[in-house]
Amino acid sequence: MITKILTIALLCTAWVVTSQCAHSDPAFPSKPIRLIIYTPPGGGLDYLARTVSQSLTEKLKQPVIVESRLGAAGNVGASSVAKSAPDGYTIGMATIATHGINPSLYGAKLPYDPIKDFAPITLAVEFKNVLVVNPLLPIKTVQDLVDYAKTNPGKLSFGSAGTGTSQHFAGELFKNVAQVELVHIPYKGLAQAVHDLISGEIQVMFSSVSDALPHIRSGKLRAIGIASLEPSSSLPDIAPVALQGYPGFEVVSWFGFVAPAGTPKDIVMRYNREIVATLMQADVIARLGGAGMDVKTSSPEQFSAFISSEISKWAPIVKSTKTALP
């Protein structure tokens, strides 16, 4: 009898922790939900999260509260999501940094497993990065930047949203292909980096189009190149870096939604349906497009495969740039 009880207990434990089989609370959701992001308020990730949280609040009839957890290029926030109870009341973001670059950059120091510790919900958006400079500099093209950097070695600093972010690696790749010296200055989010670029504390950076666009339009920043193979619809007059002497140069960023591993499958699928439905609304596509983001949704399975492919894609790039952690 004891053996039988133990066997049943073990089977039940396995059944509960497996998201494919676990059942959720039939009353879900019955309390507020946290949506954890990894950047300060005001940036592209925050804008996307608040757009979705507002819709989820209406659809789920419970408040969906956006919560910022900053640090280590998203690792602090992603770790918080991974360690949360898998009950559906905490979801978070996956980014090119947390689920693409950082696994290779941080290696054994990464405080979470990007595959095992998360239940992917959906890819949400892709967005282009733009190479911008302080407009007081005599730089209007990518070649101008290269010439200026070679004439003033070590005197140009480039900012990023943190070590391991796509903007950081866009800068490192540019240093390699252009053979120039640029000093990396990591920030805790793009907002402060952009602020210091405008003030002249740093001179150049790759920024997401969504974060830089208002300042480009106001003349506070000058855009000189797009870090993708195609122009940005938001900045159609700015040529890709790849067409300015550096063929193949491309660093495209993305955001998606994840839950902690073990979250019941029916809850994951409900989030997928509601988030995808929100993102596919014409007005949402237009608003996100105006902020430089292109909607790219997926099934949980497709997003899982995409994350795996991104980790594989970035591993050799991280190795080739020989980036060391601070």
Residue 50's pLDDT is: 96
Q: Where are the domains of the chain?
A: 31-127+252-321, 128-243
Instruction: Tell me what pLDDT residue 161 has.
Output: 83
Instruction: List pLDDT tens digits, range 201-214.
Output: 999 999 988 889 89
Asked whether the domain spanning 128-243 has the same topology as the one spanning 31-127+252-321, the reply is yes
Residue 166, helix vs strand vs coil: helix
C-alpha 46: how far from chain center: 11
Q: What is the pLDDT, as a whole number, of residue 8?
A: 41
SS3 37: strand
- What pLDDT score does 37 carry? 96
Note the pLDDT of residue 316: 87
The whole-number pLDDT of residue 322 equals: 63
| pLDDT at site 164 | 79
Nearest to 309 by CA among 91, 177, 120: 120
**Strand 90-95 relative to strand 33-37, pairing:** parallel
pTM reported for the whole predicted model: 0.80
Q: Specify the pLDDT at position 216.
A: 96
- Note the pLDDT tens digit of each residue in 218-256: 999 999 999 999 888 889 999 999 999 999 998 888 999
* Radius of gyration of the chain measured on its C-alpha atoms: 21
Torsion of CA 209, 317, 81, 59, to 10 degrees: 40
pLDDT of residue 302: 98
| Regions of the chain with pLDDT less than 70 | 1-24, 322-326
Is 3.40.190.10 the CATH number for 128-243? yes
- Rounded CA separation 273/280 (Å): 11
In contact, 246 and 226? CB cutoff 8 Å: no
> What CATH fold (topology level) applies to the domain 31-127+252-321?
D-Maltodextrin-Binding Protein; domain 2 (3.40.190)
